[in-house]
Structure 1
Amino acid sequence: MAIINQGILGGVSGKIGNVIGGTWKGIDYLRIKPSSVANPKTEGQLDQRSKFAKVLHFLQPMTDFLRVGFKQYAIKMTEFNAAMSYNLFNAVLGAYPNYTIDYPNALVSRGNLKGVANGTAASTTPAEIDITWDDNSGSGNALATDKSLILILNPDKKESIYTTSGPARPIGSETLTLPAEYTGDVVEVYLGFVSADGTKVSNSTHLGSVTVA
Structure 2
Amino acid sequence: MAIIKNGVNGTVSGKAGSVVFVLTKTGNYVRSLPRVKEREPTPEQLLSRTRFKIVRSHISLLNAVINLGYKAYSYPKRAYDVAMSYNLNEALIKKEDGFVVDWQKFMIAKGSPNPITSYTMDFDQENQVLKITWEYDAYLEKKFDTGSYDSFLILYSAEDNGAEFPLLMNDSKNSLISGKQDVNIPEHTKEATYEVYIFFVKSYGGGNTDSLHLGKIKV
Deviations along 1:48-100, one digit per CA (max 9) or x if unpaired, are 11111111122222111111100123234311111111101000112364211
Report the CA distance shift for 1:210/1:145 in structure 2 as closer, same or farther (over 3 A).
Answer: same
Indicate which of 174, 180, 196 corresponds to 1:189.
196
What TM-score, normalized by structure 2, do the two folds share?
A: 0.71
Select the structure with the greater relative contact order (CA < 8 A; seq sep ≥ 6): 1
CA distance in 2, matches of 1:42, 1:77: 30
Tell me which residue corresponds to 2:58: 58
Quote the Cα distance in structure 2 between the aligned partners of 1:92 and 1:55: 8
Distance of aligned partners of 1:120 and 1:54 in 2 relative to their CA distance in 1, 3 Å threshold = farther
**Map of 2:83 onto structure 1:** 83
Contact 2:118 2:136 in 1 (8 A): no
Amino acid across the alignment from 2:150: K
Q: CA deviation at 1:207?
A: 0.4
What corresponds to 2:3 in structure 1? none
Q: How does 1:36-185 map to 2 (within 5 A)?
A: 38-95=38-95, 97-112=97-112, 114-126=114-126, 127-136=128-137, 138-158=141-161, 159-163=166-170, 166-181=173-188, 184-185=191-192
- Alpha-carbon distance in structure 1 between the residues aligned to 2:206 and 2:113: 10
One-letter amino acid of the structure 2 residue matched with residue 153 of structure 1: Y
Compute the TM-score of the two structures, normalised by the length of structure 1. 0.73
Helix, strand or coil for the counterpart of 1:109? coil
CA distance in 2, matches of 1:37, 1:82: 35
Q: Identity over the aligned pairs, expressed in percent?
A: 21
Question: Are the aligned partners of 2:67 and 2:79 in contact in 1 as well (CA < 8 Å)?
Answer: yes
Q: Could you list the structure 1 runs, at least 4 aligned residues long, displaced by more than 6 angstroms after superposition.
A: none
Tell me the number of residue pairs that the alignment of Structure 1 and Structure 2 aligns.
Answer: 177
Task: Give the direction of change, closer, same or farther, for the CA distance of 1:37–1:174 in structure 2 (3 Å limit).
Answer: farther
Question: How far apart, in 2, do the equivalents of 1:143 and 1:178 lie?
Answer: 27
Deviations 1:130-158 (A, max 9, x none): 11112545432133311112211011342
Paired residues of 1:113 and 1:201 also in contact (CA < 8 A): no
Instruction: Name the stretch that deviates more: 57-66 or 70-79.
Output: 70-79
Output the amino acid matched with 2:214. L
- Larger deviation, residues 64-73 vs 93-102: 93-102
The CA deviation string for residues 78-125 of structure 1, in whole angstroms up to 9 with x for no partner, is 111111111010001123642111001111100125532323333242
